[in-house]
Amino acid sequence: MTTPLNATAASLLGFLHERPMTGWELVETADARIGAFWSLTRSQVYRELAATARRGLIQAGETGPRHRRPYSLTDAGRAAFQRWAETMPAPEQIRYPLLLAISFGSYIPEETLAGFVAAHRREHHERLAAYERALPDVRAHGGPQAVAVLDFGIRYERAVLGWFETLPWELARQSL
């Protein structure tokens, strides 16, 4: 039995369905396409490229300018991606660092915690605005899957901003 793909490896194989890409291009593609809801670090990408190449799921091409090496998908990689794509995704896990800070808020000075809340609120306002600006282009060129993902992002940001409105005065007293 083959080892199942982790989500990072699967996403890289998914991107390589489109064309061969260097590690740098994969990082940029991941950031642009899934960065809003799935984070990949540069080190994760390069670690997974090495691991999937060892497994025969991708093949490294000739080193090009600036020592960049394109990777292409193999038939085994396509099959492994297909098995991953047909497997039920795991339930989501909330990992929101602000919630961790708030949970230990009794040990954090009130003004510091309120500053954290204000900064996160601004970030969510900015992210919502960016998603809403992107929506017309995604509707025109992205396909129904891309629209669905962006719609989730918009709804998520609105929900988080609504949650900020329910916080006790002590946490939310700093304005935008």
The model's confidence at residue 66, banded by pLDDT at 50, 70 and 90, is: confident
- pLDDT given at position 172: 63
- pLDDT given at position 62: 85
Ramachandran assignment for 143, one of left (phi > 0), alpha (psi -120 to 50 degrees), beta (any other):
left
- pLDDT given at position 61: 87
Q: How many domains does the chain have?
A: 2
Running DSSP on this structure, what letter comes out for residue 41? -
165 lies in a domain?
yes
The model's confidence at residue 168, banded by pLDDT at 50, 70 and 90, is: confident
Residue 112 sits in the same domain as residue 145: yes
Q: Report pLDDT digits (tens) over 141-155.
A: 988 999 999 999 999
2 lies in a domain?
no
Q: What burial class does residue 98 get, using C-beta atoms within 10 Å of its C-beta: 0-12 exposed, 13-18 middle, 19+ buried?
A: middle
Cβ–Cβ under 8 Å, residues 135 and 149 = no
Q: Please state, rounded to an integer, the average pLDDT across all residues of the chain.
A: 91
The model's confidence at residue 173, banded by pLDDT at 50, 70 and 90, is: low
1 lies in a domain?
no
Give the Cα separation of 117 and 120 in Å (integer): 5
CATH label of the domain that carries residue 79: 1.10.10.10
Is the pTM above the cut of 0.85? Answer: no
Q: Which domain holds residue 102?
A: 97-172
47 lies in a domain?
yes
Which of 14-18, 29-33, 72-76, 132-136 has the weakest average pLDDT? Answer: 29-33
